[in-house]
Structure 1
Amino acid sequence: MARTSRCWPIPPVATTATRWTSRSRRATRRRSPPQAGRWPQATTRSGSDASASGPAATWAHSRTFRPASSGFSSGVLHGRKPAVPEVSVIIPAYNAERYLRETLESVLAQTYRDFEVIVVDDGSTDRTGAIAAGFGPPVRCIRQANAGPSPARNRGIREARGALIAFLDADDLWLPEKLAEQVPLFDPSASLGAGPQGSVGLVYCHAERMDAEGRPLPTPEARKPTGRVLEDFLFRNHCPTSAAVVRRECLERVGGFAEDYIWAEDWHLWLRLARHYAFAAVPRVLVRHRVHPSALTVQAENAYFGARRVLETALTEGDGAALRAARRRGLHRLDRNQALGWLGAGEPRKARRCLAAAFRSRPLDPHLWLGFVASLLPGAARRQVLGLWKRVAPWVPWDRSGRPGELLAELQRREN
Structure 2
Amino acid sequence: MTDTADPLAVTVVVPMHNSVAYLAETLEAIGAQTRPASEVLVVDDRSTDGSADLARRVLPRVRIERADFGHPERSRGYGVQSASHELIAFCDADDVWLPHKLERQLDAVADFDPAGPLLCWTKLDEFVSPELSPDEYQGREPFLDHAARLVSSLLTTRSTCTTSSPTLQESGSWVEWVSGLAPDVPSVAVDEVLMRRRLHLTNHSAVTRSSDQIEAWLRAARQAAAQHREDGKQ
So what's the TM-score if we normalise by structure 1? 0.46
Residue matched to 2:130: 213
- Structure 1, residues 271-301: CA drift from partner, whole Å, max 9, x if none? 3335231211111111010012564569857
Contact 1:203 1:282 in 2 (8 A): yes
The one of 271, 275, 284 aligned to 2:179? 271
Give the secondary structure class of the aligned counterpart of 1:314.
Answer: helix
CA shift for structure 1 position 133? 2.9
Structure 2 residue 224 is the aligned partner of structure 1 residue 314: yes
The residue number in structure 1 matching 2:98 is 175
Q: Deviations over 1:181-201 (max 9, x none)?
A: 00121122xx5xx9x9xx871
Counterpart residue type for residue 253 of structure 1? T
After superposition, residues 242-281 of structure 1 pair within 5 angstroms as 242-254=152-164, 256-259=167-170, 261=172, 265-281=173-189
CA contact 1:182–1:245 (8 Å) conserved in 2 = yes
- Alpha-carbon distance in structure 2 between the residues aligned to 1:317 and 1:27: 39
| Percent identity between the two aligned chains | 29
> Which residue of structure 2 aligns with residue 354 of structure 1?
none
More displaced stretch, 151-160 vs 138-147: 138-147
Counterparts in 2 of 1:282 and 1:214: CA distance versus 1, 3 Å: farther
Letter of the 2:159 partner, please give it: E
Counterpart in 1 of 2:27? 104
Q: Which has the higher helix share?
A: 1
Q: Distance in 2 between matches of 1:128 and 1:289?
A: 20
2-structure distance, mates of 1:25, 1:218: 39
Are residue 113 (structure 1) and residue 36 (structure 2) matched?
yes
- Alignment: residue pair count: 216
Shift of 1:205: 0.6
Q: How do 1:96-175 and structure 2 match up within 5 A? A: 96-135=19-58, 137-175=60-98
The answer (yes or no) to whether the contact 2:183–2:225 under 8 Å persists in 1 is no
**2:42, 2:120 → 1: CA distance?**
21
When residues 24 and 240 of structure 1 are mapped into structure 2, their CA distance, relative to the original with a 3 A threshold, is closer
Instruction: Give the match's secondary structure for 2:14.
Output: strand
RMSD over equivalenced CA pairs, Å: 3.4
Counterpart in 2 of 1:407?
A: none
The structure whose Rg is larger is 1
Which consecutive residues of structure 1, in runs of 5 or more, have no partner in the other structure? 1-22, 29-74, 76-84, 225-237, 321-416
For 1:219, the aligned partner's letter is F
CA contact (8 A) 2:123 2:192 kept: yes
Task: Quote the Cα distance in structure 1 between the aligned partners of 2:15 and 2:201.
Answer: 21
- Alignment partners' CA distance in 2, 1:298 and 1:269: 17
Instruction: Tell me the distance in 2 between the aligned counterparts of 1:173 and 1:214.
Output: 16
Which of 1 and 2 has higher RCO (CA within 8 Å, sep 6+)? 2
8 Å contact from structure 2 (residues 2, 85) kept in 1: no
Question: Using the alignment, how far apart are the partners of 2:4 and 2:56 within structure 1?
Answer: 21
Distance 1:212 1:299, change over 3 A: closer
Distance in 1 between residues matched to 2:34 and 2:157, nearest whole Å? 20
Q: TM-score, normalised by structure 2?
A: 0.77
Cα separation, partners in 2 of 1:214 and 1:269, compared to 1, 3 Å: farther
Q: For the structure 1 residues 260 and 247, does the alpha-carbon distance in structure 2 shift closer, same or farther, using more than 3 Å as the test?
A: closer
Contact 1:271 1:314 in 2 (8 A): yes
Matched to 1:239, the amino acid is: R
Shift of 1:213: 1.8
Aligned equivalents of 1:130, 1:113: Cα separation in 2: 22
- Is 1:292 aligned to 2:200, yes or no? yes
Measured after TM superposition, the shift of residue 180 of structure 1 is 0.4
After TM superposition, list the pairs within 5 Å mapping 1:11-410 onto structure 2.
23-25=1-3, 27=5, 75=7, 85-135=8-58, 137-188=60-111, 201-213=118-130, 218-222=142-146, 224=147, 238-254=148-164, 256-259=167-170, 261=172, 265-293=173-201, 295-296=203-204, 300=208, 311=220, 314=224, 319-320=229-230
The 2-side partners of 1:318 and 1:154 are apart by: 23
Q: Residue 115 of structure 1 contacts residue 138 of structure 1 at CA under 8 Å; is this kept in 2? A: no
Determine the C-alpha separation between the residues in 2 that align with 1:315 and 1:92: 28
